[in-house]
Amino acid sequence: MSAIFRKSNGITVYQEGERRERGEITLDEAAEILNVSRATAYRLITSGVLPAQQLCSGAPLIIRLDDVQEDNVRNEADARR
């Protein structure tokens, strides 16, 4: 089903490494970088400290590596640890 959806909507298949090329990381990777739990990283997003996008319901969060490395994000993660 997903292959048909992708083909009919012109969506290319994910290629390993393309996220990294765009400077994007997963929620789990953000949590690891910030040395916090996945739940705490998610709370940083929902509170507006860490910018993230979700293109549609159920899609993975899109987090920019540059945003995770901002001082205000790291300071807030330190405070929540």
Q: ∠ at Cα 28 (24, 33), nearest 5°?
A: 75
Q: What is the pLDDT of residue 2?
A: 65
Neighbours of 63 (CB within 10 A): 25
15-65 per-position pLDDT tens digit: 778 888 889 999 999 999 999 999 999 999 999 999 999 988 888 999 999
Q: What is the pLDDT of residue 37?
A: 98
Model confidence at 1: pLDDT above 60 = no
Helix (H, G, I), strand (E, B) or coil at 2: helix
Domains of the chain, with CATH numbers?
A: 16-80 (1.10.1660)
Model confidence at 12: pLDDT above 90 = no
Q: Torsion-angle region of residue 74: left (phi > 0), alpha (psi -120 to 50) or beta?
A: alpha
> Residue 12 gets which letter from DSSP?
P
